[in-house]
Amino acid sequence: MNPIITADELLSESAGARPPVLLDIRWQLSTAKAAGAAPFDGRAAYEAGHIPGAVFVDLDAELAGAPGTGGRHPLPDVDAFGAVMRRAGVRADVPVVVYDGGQGWAAARAWWLLRWTGHQDVRVLDGGLAAWSGPLSTDIPRPVEGDFKPVPGAGLLDAEAAAALARSGLLLDARAGERYRGDVEPLDRVGGHIPGAVSAPTTENVSPDGRFLSPQDLTARFRALGATPDTEVGVYCGSGVSGAHEVLALAVAGIPAALYAGSWSEWTQDESRPVATGPDPQ
């Protein structure tokens, strides 16, 4: 199944006999709070206008646990996540479409969590709300309680597994190149990368309008990095959000990949873990 859906396809399916459950995951990674400015308010953006029928889900509060030793966005408690999804109307036998403002990172986090916990039909709106040309609504839906019960599966790496994969397979670092090299680090304790990881910024998987490159172009990009359908591939980022976007891009290219959800923000909590700097993996 194609893990992304176009705005035209979503408009058609929403008017059909089996419309998908819609989840609005608008969120932005920002250092504004640290600078004393107000952070982006996804709920306020949602209330100002959203795709009709969409339910808002808060990434920080509902798609992540409390920041700490597990990183800035550790995985949420599975039972709590299931309750959030059921309140949003998610059912095991009904398709789900997730979207955000256009960057795709937050929507990919929701996509990955649902897929990892067993939902079989989840797609991301390619280009997010910015690609949507249909109507918007300010009505807040009250969906019928869903029945989705999350059961975690494969595709999750911890720190030890990520380090091992960097040696035995292919571990991709989805952050910007300057953070990978250690030139700057605006969010975490120290800059650099997991030794052996390969720099692969997820921003290079999309066009300027936020839509994914074609499957052919993504396949070529990942092949040049060493990733094929036969390669054991893992991905990490700063806190498991943009990394989920890279896992999604790999899925568009037909390449399965695991996610190190704790990512760099967890890795650097333990000062005994090695840190590599510079442009080379080692």
Q: For residue 113, which amino acid is it?
A: L
Identify the active-site residue in 237, 248, 250, 251: 237
**Does the active-site annotation cover 168?**
no
DSSP state string for the chain: --SEE-HHHHHHHHTSSSPPEEEE------STTTTTSPPP-HHHHHHH-BSTT-EE--HHHHSS--SBTTBSSPPPPHHHHHHHHHHTT--TTS-EEEE-SSS-HHHHHHHHHHHHTT-S-EEEETTGGGG--S--B-----PPP--------S-EE-HHHHHHHHHHSEEEE-S-HHHHHTS--SSSSS--B-TT-EE--GGGGB-TTSPBPPHHHHHHHHHHHT--TTS-EEEE-SSSSHHHHHHHHHHHTT---EEESSHHHHHTTSTTS--B-SSS--
- Which residue reads 């408009």 in tokens? 11
Annotated catalytic residues are 237
